[in-house]
Amino acid sequence: MALRLIAGAGLWIAAALVVGGLLLSALFRDYVVRSFDAHLTVLLESLIAVTEIDEEGRLVLTRPIGEPRFDQVYSGWYWQISAGNEILLQSRSLWDQTLPRGLSPDGEFDGPVSRSDIRGPEGLSLRAVARTISLPGSADRFRYQVAADDREIGDEMRAFNEALTWSLSALGFGLLAAVFIQVRYGLRPLRRVGAGIAAIRSGQATRLEGSFPSEINPLSDEINVLLEHNAAVVERARAHVSNLAHALKTPLSILTNDADRATGPFADTVQRQVGVMRRQVDHYLARARTAATSELLGARTAVPPVVNDLCRTLGRMYPGRNIQVDLSERRALQFRGERQDLEEMLGNLLDNACKWAKSQVRLTVFLKSGYLVFKIEDDGPGLADDQRAAVFRRGKRLDETVPGNGLGLAIVREIAELYNGEVALERAPMGGLCALLVLPPAESAPAARA
């Protein structure tokens, strides 16, 4: 957003400065040309003032005009007086050349000063002023011309355009720097909001804190209200799941007790169906609870305490198993989710490994490609390729002699998928089964800027 604002402002500034520069250059050129013409007109009037008709009826100069460049050969400054097709007088600077006389613009009467661009000696471009007048004592009409090299106009324009270019460039860079500072300063509250949301997502905060400008306050208030509403919805979902679990456990317990006291095929059927109902209730309650919490902002669980507690508990349940734990990058091991969900997944996988292991279970936790990976290995009999896919089906048990309900791995997979993770089984290097649980880690939030 900041880049788009700065780029847009830069384009507008560049366009405005280019248009303004062209306009100023055009205005200055008009001013220079008018000033140059005014100077030539003054020289023309001076030339007229110093000429007169003598006693013999000839046109003569009574005194010099006062411009030294008129006396330097081919200096670029010239004057000429003609009558009809005859050149009467001309400046020394013309030497053996003449100026194009052109046409008289005023017929038989004195006319205004005319201005034009002509070619002079050596093909030089000249700016010329001319006037046709009558003098007392003569019936002829005299055409007075004064011309000067128009490169002076170009020199002034180049100097002005160079100064204008540098000035407008400096102004443009200054304006762009001011826009950059203004945008960076103006968008700072939005960056603080972004950093605050990142902190909430990573579990380092539960709401947006701090003061914001009046324009941003409604946004921060709405975000905090949304977070509170989200937390309330999740809490209500948890309460409903808990109430449903308690409501179903009592009737199922009564049915189980009555079936245990009774005999016959009907009692056996009730016991089997109650077992199925318990497994289904446990499965869907776990899934509903996980679905309610998997996208909760701020959910964050430290991995080492969960792993240590589970290994300690399973060590007491399976005293003949040597459970080894390797926690690499200990400070970075954070799971983006609820503790009970991580305990559910790891507990099922570790419990299965302990059930089937001969003597050794190894748990390795590490970060790989931006994901948190749990690797659980055992030295048990392992599984064939077709059996590894079958164990993830709900209620599927490959060995009925081992305690369980056949839902553990299915629950692990569904909880992992709700967190955009996955679980897979492969052969372990130590000969048994290797379970790989891949989950998203908790992100580190950047510190909010003041």
Q: Are residues 412 and 316 in the same domain?
A: yes
State the pLDDT at residue 17: 92
Q: Is residue 76 assigned to a domain? A: yes
Task: Count CA atoms within 13 Å of residue 205 on its CB side.
Answer: 19
Nearest to 201 by CA among 438, 450, 440: 440
Q: Looking at the 3D structure of the chain, how many domains does it have?
A: 3
State the pLDDT at residue 437: 92
Q: Are residues 13 and 143 in the same domain?
A: yes
DSSP line for 351-387: HHHHHH-SSEEEEEEEEETTEEEEEEEE-S----HHH
Nearest to 145 by CA among 99, 85, 199: 99
CB under 8 Å to 77, separation ≥6 — which residues?
A: 67, 69, 70, 91, 93, 147, 148, 149
State the pLDDT at residue 20: 92
Q: Give whichever of 136-150, 159-173, 195-209, 269-283 has the largest mean pLDDT.
A: 159-173
Nearest to 72 by CA among 42, 93, 101: 93
Q: Is residue 402 assigned to a domain? A: yes
Q: Is residue 147 scored above 90 in pLDDT?
A: yes
**CATH code of the domain in which 373 resides:** 3.30.565.10
Q: Are residues 258 and 319 in the same domain?
A: no
Strands 433-439 and 371-378: antiparallel
Q: Which of 275, 293, 311 is the last residue of a domain?
A: 293
Distance CA 190, CA 83 (A): 82
Q: Are residues 277 and 132 in the same domain?
A: no
Local structure of 395: helix, strand or coil: coil
Q: Is residue 172 scored above 80 in pLDDT?
A: yes
Contact present, 354 and 377 (Cβ < 8 Å): no
In this structure, of 11-15, 27-31, 240-244, 376-380, the range with the lowest mean pLDDT score is 240-244
Q: Which of 259, 293, 327 is the last residue of a domain?
A: 293
When pLDDT is averaged across residues 209-219 and rounded to a whole number, the result is 74
Q: Is residue 107 assigned to a domain? A: yes
The mean predicted confidence, pLDDT, of the chain is 80
When pLDDT is averaged across residues 105-130 and rounded to a whole number, the result is 76
State the pLDDT at residue 419: 83
Q: Is residue 59 scored above 90 in pLDDT?
A: no
442 pLDDT tier (thresholds 50, 70, 90): confident
Question: In the 8-state DSSP scheme, what is residue 142?
Answer: E
Q: Is residue 196 assigned to a domain? A: no
When pLDDT is averaged across residues 316-325 and rounded to a whole number, the result is 80
Question: In the 8-state DSSP scheme, what is residue 443?
Answer: P
State the pLDDT at residue 42: 92
Question: What is the token pair recorded at 424?
Answer: 């897979």
108 pLDDT tier (thresholds 50, 70, 90): very low
**CATH code of the domain in which 32 resides:** 3.30.450
When pLDDT is averaged across residues 142-158 and rounded to a whole number, the result is 91
Q: Is residue 111 assigned to a domain? A: yes
CA 360 from chain centre, in angstroms, equals: 52
104 pLDDT tier (thresholds 50, 70, 90): very low
Q: Is residue 184 assigned to a domain? A: no
Q: Are residues 258 and 387 in the same domain?
A: no
Q: Is residue 1 scored above 60 in pLDDT?
A: yes
Give Rg (Cα) of the chain.
50
When pLDDT is averaged across residues 228-238 and rounded to a whole number, the result is 74
Q: Are residues 252 and 388 in the same domain?
A: no
When pLDDT is averaged across residues 372-399 and rounded to a whole number, the result is 71
Q: Are residues 20 and 128 in the same domain?
A: yes
Strands 125-134 and 334-335: unpaired
Q: Which of 293, 317, 349 is the last residue of a domain?
A: 293
When pLDDT is averaged across residues 317-339 and rounded to a whole number, the result is 76
Nearest to 323 by CA among 365, 272, 359, 279: 359
In this structure, of 139-148, 238-247, 310-319, the range with the lowest mean pLDDT score is 238-247
Q: Is residue 214 assigned to a domain? A: no
Q: Are residues 38 and 130 in the same domain?
A: yes
Residue 249 is part of which domain span? Answer: 227-293
When pLDDT is averaged across residues 148-174 and rounded to a whole number, the result is 92
State the pLDDT at residue 315: 84
Q: Are residues 317 and 337 in the same domain?
A: yes
Q: Are residues 131 and 231 in the same domain?
A: no
Q: Is residue 171 assigned to a domain? A: no
Q: Are residues 305 and 433 in the same domain?
A: yes
Q: Are residues 321 and 288 in the same domain?
A: no
